Structure 1
Amino acid sequence: MDIEKYVVVTLQVIVFVLACIGNTIVIIVTCKYLRFSVLTHRFIVNLAIADMFTGVTALSQVVYVLVPEIENNVYVCLLRYQVVLCMTLTSQLTVAFTILDRYLAICFPHRYASIMNGRRANVLITISWAYPVVLGVLPFCGLNSWESSKRCTFQEVTSPWQLLTMTLTLWSFTIIIVFMYALIIRRACLLYRQIKPLPSTPPKISLVLPEVARSSTEHCQRQVSVQSSSADRREKTLHTLRGAKSLAAITFMFSVCWLPHTYFQFRTYLDPAYVHSTEWGAANWLVFLGMSNSIMNPFIYAWQRRDFNTACRRLFARGVQIE
């Protein structure tokens, strides 16, 4: 095995191990310690499942590298790429629906319960899988370019319509996500500016006039109650901002990892001969950048979310006690 194949196999194995371990932790922590009834957590678990399958797909690529003869079969060749396509689109749609959920909760808090419920969240999760699966199955039904291809490469065995559909889907949803996120940040910052700490200067209580003392005490208690309510609202707003920041990081990393590769796919759609250019060698390595996105989200949660960190400590502390 030459050096290039050795590097490819090593990278695929690393993606597989980290994606499976990291996203399994996300699924366990979210389902066991964070309230799974919260709709946002359902989307997070769905995203972790898609990323975990992407890691499994990365390991399957090793077989194609070590046993290239199996690519001579049209269905085996198509399977190599369509599974990655399915998981990529599922991740993108899940991120979009997660930000849609947060957008409705933050920008329309009084109508959120009537707009988004468990049933509709499940429908969105189903769509995030059904659309990519349908798009990935069609090439197996004959909508492919296998007859005219000379190599088992995604751009040569995949029909131009699929290249264009996948590219436009990724780019369109990325634009929508960025727009919704901008509205989320704008709304969250506006709410935070409206909540200012109240001065905590308790009035002096007179020992001579009991009526005045009781009135001052009641006023002080009301003031403390208002301050406590304001502090709770401020903490909730901060939690909203932290959640929005984690979603922004997830969106940013997904875009950085996958948009460069989709650019090459779009160029191939416009000019099929581009696949034979010298620049195309970079596109093959950019696939690793895209697949590495499946290992990043657990680190983003650990970096941005205190509740996730606390739940992880509880999970590992319990594991140590069991031992």
Structure 2
Amino acid sequence: MLGETSVERVLMILQTIVFLMSCSGNAIVVLVIWKYLRRRAVTNKFIVNLAVADMFTGVASLSQILYTFVPSLNDNLYTCLLRYNVVIFMTLTSQLTVTFTTFDRYIAICYPTKYMDIMTPKVAQFLILISWMYPCIISILPFSGLNNWNTHLVCVFQQVVKTWQLLWMALTLWIFTIVTVAMYGLILRKACTVYNQVRPSIGSVVLVRTVEIERNKMENKYRTEKMASVLRGAKALAAVTLVFSLCWLPYTYFQLRAFINSEYIYSREWDIATWIVFLGMANSVMNPFIYAWQRKDFNQACKRLFSCKAPLPRQPARNGSYSVRGVF
């Protein structure tokens, strides 16, 4: 078994790695979208918002080291709350941003003709504002006096905040995750419906004039390619949602247990929570890799970014697609 000092050293090394990779990786995402992709597109605004939240999560990860080198920070109410609430703030912001981005893809795929009317720039800005304001309200409450602080308490988040706040934060993550998964189910059903409509129509026009046959084939091909393009974007965001859920939802189990039984934080099982919460913070590193894995346009833009070549030619995108060549 690792001693307490060894555990602290391992955590500090890992937190430093998370900080470096999170800030550099998400900075690349922001730079690539700003320089090469359609930065004004609604979906790209959500992606940039998520990258900014992840960068702040990386900074919060590094700030945890200060509390090891300067133990007196744990003895003050505000620095103690700041230690944890910055992470909670950015986590909830990331979750809301993922949900709103999924909503954007849901409208683009399920209601393509109404997309431009529904997902206007003002609506996108409002949703982005909500993704920051709602977590801000939750995070500020403990600073306003709604806490259990006293001079005899150890700076442990589950001890300092009210138990109902633990429940509130856990339920927020779970509810928005369930909503996001439900929207992906509707997206998948719509995609299957569109493919089933397109494929039979190609063979059903054999008795129509040759010109109409070719026209229908071209229309069907365009619809299929368009749907496939939008679906690739949805798949990347689905991977973001899945990874986020795997990283953060396990930690909410410990929060719920602490809400049910306040003595749970003194159990040996609670030691696992230290590593589980670190897994959640490490989520801020993973999204740039997901984009690189799923998005051809992102890969191409990264190559041009690091080779200092001229920007890729932009093509107009429809229904919220935001790539240079319509991959999203």
TM-score, normalization by structure 1: 0.89
1:244 lines up with 2:198 in the alignment: no
**2:187 equivalent in structure 1:** 184
- Correspondent of 2:173 among 170, 174, 187: 170
Greater relative contact order structure (CA < 8 Å, 6+ sep):
2
Q: Report deviation, 1:36.
A: 1.6
Match of 2:323 in 1: none
Partner of 1:81 in structure 2?
A: 84
Aligned length in residues: 306
Contact conserved, 1:50 with 1:91, CA < 8 A, in 2? Answer: yes
Q: State the SS of the aligned residue for 1:6.
A: helix
Query: Which residues of structure 1 form unaligned runs of 5+?
Result: 200-218
Q: Do the aligned residues in 2 keep the contact of 1:188 with 1:240 (CA within 8 Å)?
A: no
Amino acid at match of 2:267: S
Which of 38, 48, 72 lines up with 1:69 in the alignment? 72
1:67-122 per-residue CA deviation (whole Å, 9 max, x = no partner) reads 22221111110100010000000000000101111111111112222222100110
Aligned residue in 1 for 2:51: 48
The aligned residue for residue 211 of structure 1 is none
Q: Provide the aligned C-alpha RMSD in A.
A: 2.3
Deviation at 1:125, TM superposition (A): 0.2
Give distance in 2, aligned partners of 1:252 and 1:292.
Answer: 14
Structure-1 separation of matches of 2:175 and 2:72:
37
Q: Report how far residue 262 of structure 1 moved.
A: 0.7
Q: Does the 8 Å CA contact 1:29/1:308 hold for their aligned counterparts? A: yes
- Cα offset for 1:171? 0.7
Q: 1:221 Cα deviation (Å)?
A: 5.8
Change (3 A) 1:40 1:149: farther
1:136-151 alignment to 2 at 5 Å?
A: 136-147=139-150, 150-151=153-154
Q: Which amino acid aligns with 1:70?
A: L
Q: In structure 2, the residue corresponding to 1:229 is in which secondary structure?
A: helix
Aligned twin of 2:300: 310
In the alignment, what sits opposite 1:268? Answer: 258
Q: Which letter maps to 2:279?
A: L
Alignment counterpart, residue 296 of structure 1, candidates 264, 286, 292: 286
Moved more, 284-293 or 221-230: 221-230
Q: Determine which of 13, 17, 37 is the counterpart of 1:14.
A: 17
- Distance, in Å, in 1 between the alignment partners of 2:124 and 2:213 is 40
TM-score by length of 2: 0.88
- 1:34 match: 37
- For the residue of structure 2 that corresponds to 1:145, the secondary structure is coil
* Letter paired with 1:313: K
| Greater CA drift, 264-273 or 149-158 | 149-158
Which range moved further: 308-317 or 82-91? 308-317
Is 1:132 aligned to residue 135 of structure 2? yes
What is the CA-CA distance between 1:151 and the residue it aligns to?
A: 0.8
Unaligned 5+ segments in structure 2 are 204-208, 311-328
CA distance in 2, matches of 1:15, 1:192: 41
- Measured in 1, the distance between the counterparts of 2:67 and 2:41 equals 41
Contact in 1 for aligned 2:236/2:294 (Cα 8 Å): yes
> Partner letter of residue 164 of structure 1?
L
Of the candidates 89, 93, 96, which is equivalent to residue 93 of structure 1?
Answer: 96
3-state SS of paired residue (1:111): helix
Amino acid of the structure 2 residue aligned with 1:163: L
Whether contact under 8 Å (2:109, 2:227) holds in the other structure is no
Write the letter of the residue equivalent to 1:81.
Y
In the other structure, the counterpart of 2:268 is 278
1:225 deviation in Å?
A: 4.3
Structure 1 residue 198 displacement after superposition: 4.4
Residues 149, 157 of structure 1: 8 Å contact kept = no
Residues 26 and 288 of structure 2 are in contact (CA less than 8 Å); yes or no, is this contact kept in structure 1? yes
Matched letter for residue 167 of structure 2: L
